[in-house]
Amino acid sequence: MRKYRGRGVYGAVVIGKISILKKQSPFVEYVHITDIKTEKERVKAARLKTIQQLEAIYERALKQVGEEEAQIFKIHIMMLEEEEYHHSIENMIEDQSINAEYAVKVTSDKLIKKFTQMEDIYIQARAEDIRDISNRLIANLTDTVIDRNSLDDKVILCTDDLVPSETVFMDKDKVLAFVTAYGSLNSHTAILARNRNIPAIVGVGENFLNEVKDGSEVIIDGFTGEIFVDPDEKIKEKLFAKQKKEEEKKDILQTLKGKENVTIDGKKIDIFANIGSVDDVDLVLLNDAGGIGLFRSEFLYLENKDYPTEEQQFHAYKKVLENMNGKQVIIRTLDIGADKQADYFHIKKEENPALGYRAIRICLTCPQIFKTQLRALFRASIYGSLGIMFPMITSVWEVEKILEICNEVKAELKNQKITYSEKIQIGIMIETPAAAIISDKLASMVDFFSVGTNDLIQYTLACDRQNADIEQFCDIHHEAVLKLIEMSAENAHKNGIWIGICGELAADTTLTETFLRMGIDELSVSPSFVLKLRDTIRKLDLSK
Q: What residue ranges bind Mg ion (CB under 5 A)?
A: 431, 452, 455
Told to check if 308 binds ligand PEP by CB under 6 A, we report: no
d(CA 96, CA 381): 59
Least Å distance between CB 236 and Mg ion? 39
Q: What are phi and psi of 78, to 5 degrees?
A: -60, -40
Residue 416's φ and ψ, nearest 5 degrees, are -90, 5
CB of 200 to ligand PEP, least distance (A): 16
**Cβ atoms 329, 320 nearer than 8 A:** yes
Binding mask 114-153 for ligand PEP (x = CB under 6 A): ----------------------------------------
Q: Are 523 and 500 in contact (CB under 8 A)?
A: yes
Q: Minimum CB separation from ligand PEP for residue 341, in Å?
A: 14
Taking only Cα atoms into account, the Rg of the chain, rounded to an integer number of angstroms, comes to 25
Which H helix or E strand runs over 490? Answer: helix 479-494
* Smallest gap from residue 453 Cβ to ligand PEP (A): 5
Query: Please, which of residues 329-348 interact with ligand PEP by CB under 6 A?
Result: 335
502: contact with ligand PEP by CB under 6 A: yes
Which residues from 391-450 bind ligand PEP, rule CB under 6 A?
Answer: 431
Pick between residue 76 and residue 296 the one whose CB is nearest to ligand PEP.
296
| Residues designated as active site | 188, 502
Alpha-carbon distance 447 to 424, whole Å?
9
Minimum CB distance to ligand PEP smaller for 422 or for 462: 462
- Note whether 306 and 121 are within 8 A (CB): no
Decide which of ligand PEP, Mg ion, none touches 157; Cβ closer than 5 to 8 Å per partner kind: none
Q: CA quadruple 345, 350, 354, 356: dihedral positive or negative?
A: negative
Instruction: Report the candidate in 183, 233, 176 with the shortest Cα–Cα distance to residue 204.
Output: 183
Q: How far is the CB of 430 from ligand PEP (least distance, A)?
A: 9
Of the two residues 183 and 503, which places its CB atom closer to ligand PEP in the complex? 503
Partner in contact with 276, chosen from ligand PEP, Mg ion, none, beta carbon below 5 to 8 Å by kind: none
Q: Decide which of ligand PEP, Mg ion, none touches 306; Cβ closer than 5 to 8 Å per partner kind.
A: none
What distance in Å separates the CA atoms of residue 345 and residue 125, rounded to the nearest whole number? 7
CB nearer ligand PEP, residue 231 or residue 452: 452
Among residues 93 and 377, whose Cβ is nearest to ligand PEP?
Answer: 377
Residue among 222 and 452 whose Cβ is closer to Mg ion: 452
Phi/psi for 224 (5° steps) reads -100, -15
* One-letter amino acid of 397: W
- Whether residue 164 contacts residue 192, with contact meaning beta carbons closer than 8 Å, is answered with yes
The entry of ligand PEP, Mg ion, none that residue 137 binds, CB within 5 to 8 Å by partner kind = none
Q: How far is the CB of 422 from Mg ion (least distance, A)?
A: 29
User: What does the alpha-carbon distance between residue 475 and residue 463 come to, in Å, rounded to a whole number?
Assistant: 9
Distance of closest approach, residue 215 Cβ to ligand PEP, in angstroms: 35
- Compute the least distance from the CB of residue 431 to ligand PEP, in Å: 5
**Closest CB to ligand PEP among 132 and 335?**
335
Q: Give the ranges where 22-142 is alpha helix by DSSP (H).
A: 36-65, 67-81, 83-96, 100-116, 121-141
Q: By CB under 6 A, name the one of 47, 86, 196, 296 that touches ligand PEP.
A: 296
- Secondary element (H or E) of residue 528: none
388 CB-contact burial (10 Å; exposed 0-12 / middle 13-18 / buried 19+) = buried
- Residue 405 near residue 370 (C-beta atoms within 8 A): yes
Q: Which residues between 452 and 491 bind ligand PEP (CB under 6 A)?
A: 452-455
Q: How far apart are CA 517 and CA 94, in angstroms?
A: 75
**DSSP code, position 287:** T
218/481 with CB nearer ligand PEP: 481
Helix axes 367-380, 396-415, angle to 10 degrees: 60
Q: How far is the CB of 526 from ligand PEP (least distance, A)?
A: 11
The site that binds ligand PEP (CB under 6 A) totals a number of residues, namely 11
Q: Near ligand PEP by CB under 6 A, which window of 92-100, 310-318, 378-386, 451-459?
A: 451-459
Sole binder of ligand PEP in the list 28, 503, 507, 531 (CB under 6 A):
503
Q: Which of 188, 75, 86, 87 is nearest to 132 (CA)?
A: 75
| DSSP class per residue in 239-283 | HHHHHHHHHHHHHHHHTTTT---B-TT--B-EEEEEESSGGGHHH
Report the alpha-carbon distance of residue 188 to residue 167 in Å, rounded: 9
Question: How far is 446 from 537, CA to CA, in rounded Å?
Answer: 28
Q: How many CA atoms lie within 13 A of 104 on its CB side?
A: 28
- Interacting positions 175-204 with ligand PEP (CB under 6 A): 191
Nearer to Mg ion, 125 or 338 (CB): 338
For residue 98, give the DSSP letter: B
The residue ranges that bind ligand PEP (CB under 6 A) are: 191, 294, 296, 335, 431, 452-455, 502-503
